[in-house]
Amino acid sequence: MASRNILITGGAGFIGSHVVRLFVNKYPDYNIINLDNLTYAGNLANLSDIENAPNYKFVKADIADLDEMRQIIRENKIDGVIHLAAESHVDRSIKDPFVFARTNVMGTLALLQAAKEYWDSLPDKYENKLFYHISTDEVYGALELTNPEGVPAPFTTKASSKDDMAYGTEFFVETTKYNPHSPYSASKASSDHFVRAYHDTYGMPTLVTNCSNNYGPYQFPEKLIPLFINNIRHRKPLPVYGKGENVRDWLFVEDHARAIDLIFHKGKVAETYNIGGFNEWKNIDLIKVVISTVDRLLGNPEGYSQDLITYVTDRPGHDMRYAIDSRKLQKELGWEPSLQFEEGIEKTVKWYLEHEDWLQNVTSGEYQKYYDSMYADR
């Protein structure tokens, strides 16, 4: 009999697929149930290597459907939830905030309620149970860019403290006041509050983590790094918001998955942990590194694709700087990023260049037509 029955939501997406793969491979005595609604960013091809594993099961469902969440959690005897399913693209949230409110807020609420009802019905109730909610650094709002020049790249993901970071003196810590500026971040902030409220009101065991920007294999190519890799390969414009001066802290996705694993097993109930790479980059500097790496790996002359950079009107409410202070996680649980940024970018670019079939399938939307047909009558 399996020692745990873990529900991972959004497991066919970018970060979720890495978490599912890690848990399936690392914990053969766990039953891993991957719940995903297979919207545009969910792709089961992300998990083709473990789809036949004996401890893995996929369920297509909408997290906002309370009755369906009740049934799935009860039938699978779920004792742990790792909740990643979310609408996450800021531009899409600006165009249609209602979709984000439904999925990110009502979906989280439906999962919380379904888990609470099932665990309340058990003799041991909340013992050895956990609802772990993955959130974003964007809920904290924006930091000032007090040192616009920063320090010369590259920075190291082995930075020992926030003092090693480049672009300012303020950093997001676990107690930073929420101040979301986009419909996306507002919906995530709301879902975070519901998770904490279920602990404070009902005693439900919950955890929240807030992570910086992720990059790596299997990321949907509307996000900056895979989009630009694909555009460089096909000699398409590289749209840069404003002057490209916005700063983000970047973390390789497999390091995020390792952090989630550690926090799920060792984190303290009701705590918040920030996960970041101590790895700040201006967008324009990051883009130039991506261009240089892609050109080199494709055998193009140095600087060949620089002319593709195209400055476009800035995004409404575009936050200037995000910077995570993850020293609490480092100090309490011993986690730190494993890759230097240069290693991670090299690994990421190579993956996308070697998986053009995956990129073509995703950008064409053919996978969605297949799933729509497969699940049409279910």
Q: How far is CA 59 from the centre of its chain?
A: 20
Distance CA 260, CA 11 (A): 13
Query: In the chain, helix, strand, coil percent, each to 5?
Result: 45, 15, 40
Choosing from 184, 198, 215, 218, the catalytic residue is: 184
Is residue 184 annotated as part of the catalytic site, yes or no? yes
Radius of gyration in angstroms for the set of CA atoms belonging to the chain, rounded to a whole number = 20
Closest CA to 341 of 282, 302, 286: 286
- Per the CB < 8 A criterion, the answer to whether 141 and 96 are in contact is no
**DSSP E strand boundaries for the chain:** 4-9, 30-36, 56-60, 80-83, 130-136, 206-211, 213-215, 238-241, 247-252, 272-275, 280-282, 309-312
Q: Is the distance from CB of 186 to CB of 141 less than 8 angstroms?
A: no
Contact (CB, 8 A) for 2 and 31: yes
Is 325 one of the catalytic residues? no
Give the pairing of strands 206-211 and 56-60. Answer: unpaired
**Cβ atoms of residues 207 and 267 within 8 Å:** yes
Would strands 280-282 and 247-252 be described as parallel, antiparallel, or unpaired?
Answer: antiparallel
- Any catalytic annotation for residue 138? yes
Task: Give dist(CA 103, CA 109) in Å, integer.
Answer: 9
The catalytic residue among 36, 138, 254, 280 is 138
Place of tokens 């989630």: 260
Active site residues: 137-138, 184
